[in-house]
Amino acid sequence: MDSLLLIGCGNMGGAMLAGWLRAGLAPARFTVVDPVLAEAPDGVALLRDLPADGSFDAILLGVKPQLLGEVAPVAAALAGPGTVVLSILAGVELATLARRFPDAGGVVRIMPNLAAAIGKSPIALAALALDERRKADVVALMEPLGTPEWLAAEAQFDLVTALAGSGPAFVYRFIDALAAGAAVLGLDAAQAQRLALAMVEGASLLAAASPHSPGELADRVASPGGTTRAGLDVLDDGAALARLVEATLRAARDRGAEMAREARN
């Protein structure tokens, strides 16, 4: 996919663009349409309005989901059989995208997170009317941003969005809570935050490289009767942490399903 039109370049669209450029993709491959973006990266074309015509291998929808009805009628004219429509719009289902872009060469839902900017994002994919060659093209386009994975069914998308898309916010909140707890117990607040961030970075890298599951690693850190076990006993009491995280994911998943129902109307 040599030419991409990005409609909307906010936090997530901007992170994806940054990741592509960081990986060495030529800026001339990208055209951004955004009425409020102050400036685009060097070499990337920036438009304030959708072009009346043009030829693009892919169109990435990065606006707010509620703006789809406003953007789609104009953008659909640019999405012919040679164009794949890529969407990062939360809650907007493939059937809705196909209806809005009836002439496109296929539609794809994508769920990355902001780590796309550094090539470390999980990327969930679901497609409709996309042949194997174009599926391979989509994977190749996403690989510089992280780890793309096709979902077995679109029905999983809301849950994957809660886990991989919203998940970083939940992790950030936990890091903040670790630092805040240490500060309450007497550590300098700034030092507590530095230590918490460094600890999570190291733990994450180790978990990604380890043959052991995160649960096994937790038990390996914890010696019987030691300090770590004392802390884990609090998290594990009545499955407190597991129940809290399950409720958190359920709330995010259910909100995604609610947004999908709203988008159908």
Residues 140 and 61 in one domain: yes
Residues 118 and 171 in one domain: no
Residues 132 and 242 in one domain: no
Residues 118 and 184 in one domain: no
Residues 69 and 138 in one domain: yes
DSSP 163: I
| CATH of residue 235 | 1.10.3730.10
Strand partners, 85: 59, 107
Residues 134 and 48 in one domain: yes
Which of residues 87, 121, 155 is at a domain's end? 155
Domain presence at residue 161:
no
Range of the domain at 30: 4-155
Whole-prediction pTM: 0.84
SS3 54: coil
Domain presence at residue 162:
no
Which of 99, 96, 116, 248 minimizes the C-alpha distance to 170? Answer: 248
Question: Cα–Cα distance between 109 and 142 in angstroms, integer?
Answer: 12
Question: Cα–Cα distance between 220 and 187 in angstroms, integer?
Answer: 26
Domain presence at residue 47:
yes
Domain presence at residue 264:
no
Which of residues 155, 184, 211 is at a domain's end? 155
Domain presence at residue 233:
yes
| CATH of residue 48 | 3.40.50.720
Which of residues 107, 126, 155 is at a domain's end? 155
Residues 193 and 137 in one domain: no
Residues 40 and 129 in one domain: yes
Residues 76 and 11 in one domain: yes
Cα-Cα end-to-end distance for the chain: 32
**Measured between alpha carbons, how far is residue 149 from residues 128, 154, 199 in Å?**
15, 12, 28
Judging by beta carbons within 10 Å of its beta carbon (0-12, 13-18, 19+), is residue 9 exposed, middle or buried?
buried
Residues 139 and 21 in one domain: yes
If one counts the domains in the chain, the total is: 2
Question: Cα–Cα distance between 39 and 93 in angstroms, integer?
Answer: 31
Residues 139 and 172 in one domain: no
Q: Are strands 121-128 and 146-150 parallel, antiparallel or unpaired?
A: parallel
Residues 11 and 107 in one domain: yes
Name residues whose C-beta falls within 8 Å of residue 94's C-beta, 6 or more positions apart in sequence.
Answer: 107, 109, 126, 127, 128, 154
Q: What is the pLDDT along the chain (265 residues), one digit of tens a residue?
A: 889 999 999 999 999 999 999 999 999 999 999 999 999 999 999 999 998 888 899 999 999 988 999 999 999 999 999 999 999 998 899 999 999 999 999 999 999 999 999 999 999 999 998 999 999 999 999 999 999 999 989 999 999 989 998 999 999 999 999 999 999 999 999 999 999 999 999 999 999 999 999 999 999 999 999 999 999 999 999 999 999 999 999 999 999 888 888 777 6
